[in-house]
Amino acid sequence: MKGLEADDPMELVGVGYPVDIDEETDRETARCIVEEYALTGFAAKEILALFASPMYGLPHAIYRRRGQEFVTNLVSAVFGGAR
């Protein structure tokens, strides 16, 4: 196996494109993110912090678009009301 190179053509690169994102799309996406982190052992409080952090691009974009209450309600629903 060869070593990594700075200009490797096989490097993964994320590309965004303009789409209309409705609330239901954000709800489904955010719920999947919350469930994935919950299944790996994150607490509700940790997941809320993840959405609030700009270091996590997709969750934070949803947080900015829909607000803290939207994310808090989703996390609460996944955790059965616990925060």
Predicted local distance difference test score (pLDDT) of residue 75? 96
Convert the pLDDT of each residue in 14-72 to its tens digit: 777 788 889 999 999 999 999 999 999 999 999 999 999 999 999 999 999 999 999 99
User: What's the pTM value of the predicted model, to 2 decimals?
Assistant: 0.75
Q: pLDDT-based confidence at 9, cuts 50/70/90?
A: confident
In SS3 terms, the chain reads as CCCCCCCCCCCCCCCCCCCCCCHHHHHHHHHHHHHHHHHCCCCHHHHHHHHHCCCCHHHHHHHHHHCHHHHHHHHHHHCCCCC
Predicted local distance difference test score (pLDDT) of residue 83? 47
Predicted local distance difference test score (pLDDT) of residue 53? 96
Predicted local distance difference test score (pLDDT) of residue 61? 94
Residue from 47, 65, 68 nearest 56 by CA: 47
Q: Where are the domains of the chain?
A: 23-78
